[in-house]
Amino acid sequence: MSLHGDYDPQNIFAQIIRGEAPCYKLYEDDDVLAFLDLFPQAHGHTLVIPKRVAARNILEIDAQSLAKLMAVTQQLTRVLVAELQPDGVQVAQFNGAPAGQTVFHLHMHIIPRVAGQDLGIHAANRADPAELAQLQARLVKRLAG
């Protein structure tokens, strides 16, 4: 899909926001939702999305909403680093299919990285639900504490 076009309200992240599709939720407030990626590139791969803005990409969001998205992204990055103790952490965001975007609702990736592991751009495997649920519980507890 091109960089320019119309927002599709049936995209999977819009469905998650409306509660029509499930997610392993880590954090939610009036503006932002964060949840675990179902096809993680690494253990702890988290997505952070704006809830109230129908923006397909970074070009379409207002600066105030973007600032809020980034503030929550930083907060979640700190939680992931504190809990999982990775060697590095990627915070990434793609705009348009040629740039690697596959879901056309703006989202930030937070990907904990361990030294020596491959930096895969797209993971092939769906995560084990039990592992995701366990990780969700750990991170939600850390976020609350």
Find tokens 């992204």 and name the residue: 73
Find tokens 């407030």 and name the residue: 29
List 101, 106, 135, 139, residue binding ligand AMP (CB under 6 A): 101
- Applying CB under 6 A, the site for ligand AMP has a residue count of 12
Choosing from 43, 45, 105, 107, the catalytic residue is: 107
Instruction: List, in sequence order, the alpha helices (H) in 20-113.
Output: 63-84
List 29, 102, 129, 133, residue binding ligand AMP (CB under 6 A): 102
Is 12 a binder of ligand AMP (CB under 6 A)?
A: yes
Is 25 a binder of ligand AMP (CB under 6 A)?
A: no
d(CA 63, CA 43): 31
Distances (CA, A) of 78 to 60, 73, 87, 111, 137: 27, 9, 13, 12, 16
Is 48 a binder of ligand AMP (CB under 6 A)?
A: no
**What is the closest distance, in whole angstroms, from the C-beta atom of residue 135 to ligand AMP in the complex?**
13
Is 37 a binder of ligand AMP (CB under 6 A)?
A: yes
d(CA 67, CA 13): 20
For the question of residue 122 being annotated catalytic, the response is: no
Work out the number of other CB atoms within 10 angstroms of the CB of residue 23: 22
Query: Contact residues for ligand AMP (CB under 6 A)?
Result: 12, 21, 23, 37-39, 47, 94, 100-103
Q: Which residues are catalytic?
A: 107
